[in-house]
Structure 1
Amino acid sequence: MTPSAEPRLAAPSAFAPDVAGNDDLPLTPQASPGRGVVPFDLPGVYVGTAEYAEGPTGCTVVHVPAGARTAVDARGGAVGLSGGYDFNHAICLAGGSVYGLAAAAGVSDELLARRRNQVRWDDLQIVSGAVIYDFSARDNAVSPDAALGRAALRNAKEGEFPVGRCGAGRSATAGKVEFGRAEFTGQGAAFRAYGDVKVLVATVVNSVGVVVDRDGAIVRGNYHSAEGVRRHPAEDYAAMIGRPDAPAPVPGNTTLTVLVTNVRLPERELNQLGRQVHGSMQRGIQPFHTENDGDVLFTMTTDEVDLTGVRSTGLATLAAEVAWDAILDAAR
């Protein structure tokens, strides 16, 4: 992707009262295929998406039927998170801000039904969820609900991650110094295998910050239409110092990320893997983890192989590059 990519500007919501919500429309969950899929080789990991076109808004479910140990790293001033467990059978990412947390409950309902309502302690299906605020780019109150979460899980396929403007990233945007400069992004994914070691990173970029490539060029967000250029937010913020008429920060932002590896790591190292990778994402999203963002990264392991030759710091260094690839994929 190059800085000359065609702008994909998002029209700001008018936030009018009495707009249509879920109870006002005959909503039917739809498939949310995006522009394609990123294949990955992690047996036992399934990914599904679904959307309400009336939003548009959607959700993305990462399902590990065998369960996976999980570390959660949440940063920024506006986190929307449910569960946050250290072991999960599914992670549900959704639009709709706090109302979209209902989608994770739908995933739980579907998993319970699949186990024929078995509720012994060791039969419980654990689901964590996180949401982005995507109302800024649409004039309605439609949000992912339990029915949409169930549909996303039912659509799940092994070894394929849908990417583009789909799932939880259906109405995601980036580069919001002022919302009129925001551009649509979506969800992106990248997968790498280093011998027996495998790393999948998927991310929904809905950030205040712009997306930056490895050459330092801004590839999505903060687009100044008059000049036909994308600027680094630092340039705009510097010009606002001392100005009483400067625009207020744009609220309602979040980047959600899921990292799945097959490496068996102790709890402390699993947590540190997530922290290091989450911190590294500042290179691709600038600024990141702001008071107006609610960034969450779930790190999951299927506990299949031991790490040899490098320590967890080396694994995190490699995974950080995969995360940057996923960010750029979300901005395509």
Structure 2
Amino acid sequence: MISQSLNNLVTDVPGIRVGNVQNLDQRTGVTALLFDRPAIASGSFLGGAPALRENALLEPEMLVGGIDAIVLSGGSTYGLDATAGVQAWLREQAADLPTPDNQVRVPIVVQASLFDLVNGGNKDWGRYSPYAELGYQAAQGARKGQFALGTTGAGTGATTTLLRGGLGSASTITPSGHTVAALMVVNAVGTATVGNGPHFWSAPFERDNEFGGLGFPSRLAENDLALRMKPNYVAGTTIGVIATDAILTKAEAKRFAILAQDGIARGVFPAHLPQDGDAVFGISTGHAPAPASVEIWTEILHAATQVTARAIARGVYEASPLPGEPFLPTWKERFGDVKQGNVDHD
């Protein structure tokens, strides 16, 4: 039986720190995940319009064995500047980044960004984007333990078709004792909720009423399965990290990320569209033994799909209003008075 872990956050995996910083006027932000020691990493990038940095080095055949940080941001390709800020902060911590010759220190940082450029925020930031500075601040503020969800960090300006998106996280402990956790930023072209109602596509995986406890509709109407997507083919994406304390190879980390992409498809409908940039980084911090059998490895993969879907729903559920024009309502503004139970809707 899978059990819940400490804070239901990605920081439940030992060796991970998270920092969030945002600009509410610009309706954007940055999330930085820093590792106590280089983490084995790979990735899966199934969206048709990804905004990525240094993703090629994550392929199993590439030289780099471990990475120092992952950055998630708003800003589309402008947001990729955030890596420079995180890398600058890490370089200042030179003693923590040894190299064989103890002279040249190159922090390895990978990134995915989401498109939040038409969400009502002020994007007139001048010649250079603000993301390098936001990245530096996010790295500087990275901590273990608790952190906020919803309208924070890279989730600040996130939206879905009908509701505000946001940053979500979830974790679990597998029957064999490995911790598996996800951090996802939901800015999907599609929806995280069923039809026009309050139920989440992730409902079958919910634990302890973490996103309202409404369950799944008792039936799906034809309208619930209709295509809903952002108007004018506006780009969007769901990006994030799936992490475990189990020792993995780079090839296994890639498979881990692929199973998390299944979680995106469970939590967002539709997913992996041409306008989406759906991207997941698979991470092993190596604080627990490697899977001792195929069965234990499969447990970890099975958990990856579920915690990813849960993190997606939590990101939307925990979203809060922003100052100025509302642009889109939050889930709690639209459905916060819906009682627990199985609620049918049109």
Q: Which shows bigger deviation, 197-206 or 138-147?
A: 138-147
Q: Could you say what secondary structure the match of 2:20 adopts?
A: strand
In structure 2, the CA distance between the partners of 1:236 and 1:160, relative to structure 1 (3 Å rule), is: closer
Match of 2:312 in 1: 327
**Structure 1 residues 190 and 215: CA distance shift in structure 2, 3 A:** closer
Offset at residue 88 of structure 1 (A): 1.3
How far is the alpha carbon of 1:183 from its aligned partner? Answer: 1.4
Structure 1 residues 283 and 269: alpha-carbon distance in aligned structure 2, compared to 1, 3 A threshold: same
Aligned match of 1:187: 167
Aligned to 1:98: 77
Quote the residue 1:234 is aligned against: 226
Distance 2:202 2:179 in 1: 23
3-state SS, counterpart of residue 329 of structure 1: helix
Partner residue of 2:132 out of 146, 168, 179: 146
Shift of the 150–139 alpha-carbon distance from structure 1 to 2, 3 Å rule, reads closer
* Displacement of 1:213: 3.2
- In the alignment, is the contact (CA less than 8 A) between 1:38 and 1:162 conserved in 2? no
Alignment partner of 1:288 is 2:271: yes
Distance in 1, matches of 2:227 and 2:24, equals: 36
- The answer to whether the Cα contact below 8 Å between 1:274 and 1:297 also exists between their aligned partners in 2 is yes
- Structure 1 residue matching 2:278: 3-state secondary structure: strand
> Residues 207 and 121 of structure 1: is their aligned pair in 2 closer, same or farther, counting only changes over 3 Å?
farther
**In the aligned structure 2, how far is the partner of 1:94 from the partner of 1:66?**
22
Counterpart position of 1:13: none
**Residues 56-88 of structure 1 deviation map (CA, whole Å, 9 limit, x = unaligned):** 210000000311011111112110000123331
Matched length: 272
CA distance in 2, matches of 1:70, 1:130: 14
More off after superposition, 301-310 vs 135-144? 135-144
User: d(CA) in 2 for partners of 1:78 and 1:39?
Assistant: 26
Following superposition, the deviation at residue 215 of structure 1 comes to 5.5
Match of residue 80 from structure 1: 51
Alignment partners' CA distance in 1, 2:115 and 2:225: 20
Contact 1:46 1:160 in 2 (8 A): no
Deviation at 1:163, TM superposition (A): 0.8
Q: Which residue type is aligned with residue 182 of structure 2?
A: V
Q: Do the aligned partners of residues 69 and 38 (structure 1) sit closer, same or farther apart at CA in structure 2, a change above 3 Å counting?
A: closer
> Which residue does 1:308 correspond to in 2?
292
Distance in structure 1 (CA, Å) of the matches to 2:50 and 2:27? 22
| TM-score normalised per structure 2 | 0.71
* Distance (whole Å) between structure 2 residues aligned to residue 83 and residue 111 of structure 1: 16
C-alpha change, 1:314 and 1:93, in structure 2 (3 Å) is same
DSSP-derived class of the 1:61 partner: strand
TM-score relative to the length of structure 1: 0.74
Q: Secondary structure at the match of 2:203?
A: coil
Structure 1 distance, partners of 2:104, 2:177, is 30
* Fraction of identical pairs, as percent: 29
Q: Which runs of 5+ in 2 are unaligned?
A: 1-6, 59-65, 193-200, 206-210, 212-220, 318-346
Distance 1:52-1:313 versus aligned 2 partners, 3 A rule: same
Give CA-to-partner distance per residue, 1:225-270, whole Å, 9 cap, x none. Answer: xxxx9x6462569xxxxxxxxx975222011111111111233222
Query: What's 1:213 paired with?
Result: 202
Contact 1:59 1:95 in 2 (8 A): yes
